Structures are given as structure tokens and as C-alpha cells.
């Protein structure tokens, strides 16, 4: 177990992300993924609009 110090805003976001009965550790484990193997995603974007993909990536990065 470890103590983690958060800003008020970070705490509020973490608290808001909790779903029914989840602990803060559960939220962190759900939201902070380990490194992904890009081979798992190879070909998964075939036929998708690159502009939409880039927009989604930028939006998701701003949330973190």
C-alpha cells in the first residue's frame, strides 16, 4: 500500500470516475492501462477515416 497526494481537482476527477462500490484503486487500475501491444490492433482501423481517428486520439489525450 502507498500514499498518493493529489491536487483538489485530481481528487474530484478520481472521485467522479468511481462507479458503484469501486475503490479509488479500482478506478486507477481501470483507467491507467499498462502498455499495449500494437500487434493487437494491427488492421483494426482498416477502412476508417484517418481524420476521425486523429480527432478521437486528441480528445482522449485531453481527458487524461
Residue 64 has pLDDT above 70, yes or no: no
The pTM for the full model equals 0.49
The whole-number pLDDT of residue 9 equals 94
Helix axes 8-17, 24-31, angle to 10 degrees: 90
Q: What residues does each domain of the chain span? A: 8-63
Pinpoint the alpha helices (H) of the chain: 8-17, 24-31, 50-63
Taking the CA of residue 31 as centre, how many other CA atoms within 13 Å lie in the half-sphere pointing to its CB? Answer: 18
CA–CA dist 1, 19 (Å, integer): 22
The whole-number pLDDT of residue 13 equals 93
Which tens digit of pLDDT belongs to each residue from 5-61? 999 999 999 999 999 999 999 999 988 877 767 777 777 777 788 888 888 888 888
**Pair 27, 17: CB distance under 8 Å:** yes
CA–CA dist 55, 62 (Å, integer): 11
Amino acid at each position: 500500500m502507498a500514499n498518493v497526494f493529489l491536487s483538489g481537482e485530481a481528487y474530484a476527477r478520481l472521485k467522479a470516475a468511481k462507479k458503484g462500490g469501486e475503490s479509488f484503486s479500482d478506478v486507477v487500475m481501470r483507467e491507467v492501462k499498462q502498455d499495449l501491444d500494437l500487434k493487437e490492433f494491427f488492421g483494426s482501423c482498416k477502412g476508417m477515416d484517418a481524420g476521425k481517428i486523429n480527432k478521437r486520439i486528441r480528445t482522449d489525450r485531453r481527458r487524461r
